[in-house]
Amino acid sequence: MSSKRTGIITKEELVEKKLLPSMERLSNGPIAILECPEEIPCNICVSACPFNAISKSRIYEVPRLNPDKCIGCGVCVGKCPGLAIFVVDLSKPGKAYVTLPYEMLPSPSKGARVELLDREGRVIGEGTVVKAWVYEKTWVVTVEVPGDLWFDVRAVRIVR
């Protein structure tokens, strides 16, 4: 079933739309994943990227990422109004780092324990915040997660 019916994008759709970086590139260090399959008039990510790694030839096209230019800085994560951009780093054996937008309370902080949530909001594990910063009113949070959950974790809930 497509994301147009469920609102939840699948790995197959990301591969089909060429929005998922190669495993080789994911293993080489942080890189953005643009989970934006809709052809909508938005290009904030294009103008936000300080390395010109994101492009669109027309405003209604799906954004494209140049994996050779992206360093996974996360600026696009905080700028995307659709909360549809994540940064994944698989360069450390057995663990992954997922950087995602966070617009809930309490505010995140380094060392905080979090529940890891999938695209449907289900708890799929626990992780630790390793970095948190605010970019224009949106928290951008990097969490350390088990390596096999890198594709599934797309939100967090702070454990109180």
Rounded mean pLDDT, 91-103: 96
Q: Which of 4-8, 22-26, 51-55 has the lowest mean pLDDT?
A: 4-8
Q: Can you say how many angstroms the Cα of residue 134 is from the centroid of all Cα atoms in its chain? A: 15
pLDDT digits (tens, 9 = 90+) for 109-127: 999 999 999 999 999 999 9
8 CB neighbour count, 10 Å cutoff: 14
**CA 31 – CA 19 distance, rounded (Å):** 12
Q: Is a pLDDT exceeding 90 seen at residue 38?
A: no
Q: Is a pLDDT exceeding 70 seen at residue 143?
A: yes
pTM of the entire structure?
0.94
DSSP 9-53: --HHHHHHTT-S--HHHHHTS-EEEE---S--S--HHHHH-TT--
Mean pLDDT of the chain: 94
What domain range includes position 146? Answer: 3-158
Number of domains in the chain: 1
Q: What is the pLDDT of residue 3?
A: 77
